[in-house]
Structure 1
Amino acid sequence: MALKDDAAPGLWAGARTEAPGPDTDHGIAPAGSFALAAYLDRWSACAHHDLAASDSEPLSLAALLRLAGPEDRRRWRRADLGYADPRGASWLRATIAGCYRRLAADDVLVSAGAQEAVACVLSALLGPADHAVVVVPIYQPSELVVSRLCAADGVALRPEPAWTLDLDGLVAAIRPNTRLVLMNFPNSPTGASLDRTTLERLVDLCRRHGLWLVNDEVYRQTDLDPGRAVPPVVDVYERGISINGLSKGFGLPGLRVGWAACRDRGALDRVLAVKSLLSSCLAGPSEILAQVALRAEQRLTGRARAIGRRNHHRLRALLDRYPNLFDPEEPTNLAFACPRFRGREGATEFSKALASEDGVLVLPSALWHSALAPVPTDRLRLGLGRVGSGAALGILGDHLQRRAGR
C-alpha cells in the first residue's frame, strides 16, 4: 500500500500578518521570551516557504488510517470520548515498551507530546535544594524548566570536532547536590550524536555519582545513519530516562503523543503525579492513531527518511557552490542541517533578509541562546524533512546567487 498523503505543505494557518516590529533582544525576540517561538511568530508572516521545521512531512489522517490493522480499526470504530487511562492505554504502553530492549508497559508513561514528558520528569526529580547539569544547545523550554526548579550549570557541545560532548567539562560541573544530567541526542540544532564510547563513559560517570540521565531522543528516527545509533539511555542505565514521541520522525505532531520510558517505577509514579496537574490523560482517538503509527514505524519513518535524503543531497550541492559562505560540513540528521554561515552580515541578519526578501524561513542558531553556557551564533538550522523543503532550497539558492552578484 502506497503512503499517499494529501496534507498541504506550508506554514501553519493563523500566523500573524502584521509587519515585524522592533526587536528588544539582540534583534532576535522580545527579551525574556521563548526565543524560537517569538521568532516564528514575528517572521512567519513574511515567509511562504518553510525551511525552519524540524519535523518530518506531516501525514494526513486518511493516510494514517489506511495503515490500520483489523484490531485498530475495531478500536477506532468503537472509540468513545470519555476520559482515558492517565498513564496511557495499556496496549499503547506495551507497544512503546516493545521499542526498547528491556521494558514492560508499566515502565512507560504516555504524555501530551514529548515536551510535556520532559517538563514532568524534571519537575518530579528536581527541587530547590538540587543542582542539575544541562548539555547545550538544547530546546529552550527544557532549559527554562530546569533553571526555574533549581541551580544549574551548562556544558556546551564542542563544535570542533563535530559537536562532541565535553565529558571533562561535565565532570567539572558536578556538585555534591547534583541530581540530574539533561541532554538532547541526537541534538537539535547541531545534529550531533553520541558514539558508544562516549555514552558508556557518560553512564559510568552518572552511575558513580548516582545521577539521573535524562535524554530527549525525539530525533532518534531521523539520524542520518541508523547503523551508528547508540541505544536509548533507558536500555543501558538503570537511572536513564528516555523521552520520545511521534512528532519528528513519524511526521505526526498533530497527535500530541509523547512518552517517558524509565525502569524506576517509583520515579515514574512521581512523574505521573506532576502530569496530573497538567493533562489528566491523552485523547482516546490519539492513542488509537499512535498505536497505528507505531505498528507501521518502518513505513512511516522510511517515508520520512526518503524525503530527508533527497533534501540532504540538494542542500549538499547548494552548500558546495558557496564554499566562501558555508563550511564544508556534512549534515548528520535527515530532519535538519546546521551549517556555519560566514557571510559578513552574520547568520541572524541573513535569516531575516531571506524571510523578508524571498519569503524563506530559516532559523539562526542564536535562537538556542543559553543562560548556562555559550552557544555559537554563526549557524543556520535548515529543515530537510518536508516535501516543500526542496523548493525552498531552490529559492535559497537564488537568494545566494543574487547576493553573490551584489
Structure 2
Amino acid sequence: MGRKHITAVVAINILTFFISLSYDMVFTVLPFFLINSVGVSMVIIGLIEGGYDLVSNFLKIFSGYWSDFFSRKRILTAGILFSVFSRLYFTFGKKWDDFLIGVLLEATSEGVQVPVSDTVLSSEKRNLGKIFGLNRAVESLGSFLGIIVAFVYTALFLSDIDYQTYFSLSIIPVFLSLIAVFFLKDERKIKKYPIPIVSWEIFFPKYLVLFFILSFANFGYSFYILKIYSDILSEYKTVGVYILFSLIIAAASYFSGKFYDQIGEKRFLEITTLIFFISHFLMINLPVIGFIVFAVADAFLEIGIWATVGKKVKFRKGFVFGTYHFVVGFSSLLAGLTAGYLWDSIRPEAPFVMGTIASLLAFFIIRRYF
C-alpha cells in the first residue's frame, strides 16, 4: 500500500472511532429512556430500530452513487453535521416522535458516511478481509468506550443527571470526528463503465437475497438488550453485559477478516449463519449467553457482506455498496416491526424464534445456490 492510501485508511478509522463512540453513548441507554421515561411500546421500539436502518440504508444508495463522482470529503462533512443536529433533538426533545426525528437524523448521518468510507477502504486490491476487519475492530473499540461511558452513567450518575443532559455530552466526539476528514485527499474522478448502471449484472442478486433474509436474524440491538433487561431488571448490569458484548465483537471483527481471507467466501458465510442460529436459540432461555454468541455472529456478518461485495464488485462500487445497504435496511425495518409485534402480541421470546428460522433458511440457501 502506498503512503496516500495508508493515510486515507487511517483517516477513515479515526472517523469511524469517534462516530461509534458518540453513537453508543446515546443508543446504549436510549431503549431504557424510551421504555422508562417516555413509555413507548415495543412496536414503537421496532419502528425506531427499523426506521433507522431503512433511512440509513436508503440514503446509502445515493451517497454511494455520489461518492463515485463527487467530493468524498464534502460528503463526509455533511454526514457529520447531520449527527450534530441529531444530538440537539436528543437533548431538547419532549415526545417520542422528537426522538424518532433524532434517530432518523442520525440514520441520515450514517447513510451519508458509510458508503464513502467503504469505497475508500475497498480501493485496496488485496487483503480486503483484513482491511474491513480492522475497520470494524476500530468501530467496535469506539463502541466499547461509548458503552463504558454509558455504564458509568447508569451505575453512578443516573439519579443525579437526567438522560437528556447526558445525551448532550455525546456531541463532543462528533466534533472530534471532523478532524479525520481533513486528512482525506479530495479526489473527483469520473469513470466510464462498460456495464450499464441499472444492469443486474453488477449487483450479484443471490447475495442481495441472502443478506435480506439474514436481516431477520439481526433485527436491532434494542431487542437483545431489552430481553436481557427483562430477565435481570437492572440497567447498569444490562449495560455491563453490553460491555462484554462490545469486547467480543471487536476481537471477532478483527480475526474474522483474517478468517475470511483464509477459508473463502462460501464456508465463511455458512459458519456465519450457523452462529446466528446458535445465538438466537440461546436468546430464548439464556439471553446473556445468546447475546455474547450473537456478538460473534454480527461481526462475521459485517465482514461477510462487505468483504464479499468489495471483492466481487468491479464497477460503480459506491453505488453497489449503497444498494446493498438499502436492501439490508429495508429488511431490517420489516424485521424490526415484525419482532416488535411478536414481542407485544405473543411473548418476548418470539422474535428470537424468528431469528432461528431465518438463520436456518439462509444456511440452506448458501448450501444450495452458492
Instruction: Report if TM-score (shorter chain) is over 0.5.
Output: no
Which structure has the larger Rg over C-alpha atoms? Answer: 1
**What TM-score comes out, normalization by structure 1 length?**
0.27
The structure in which a higher percent of residues are strand is 1
Higher RCO structure (Cα 8 Å, ≥6 apart): 2
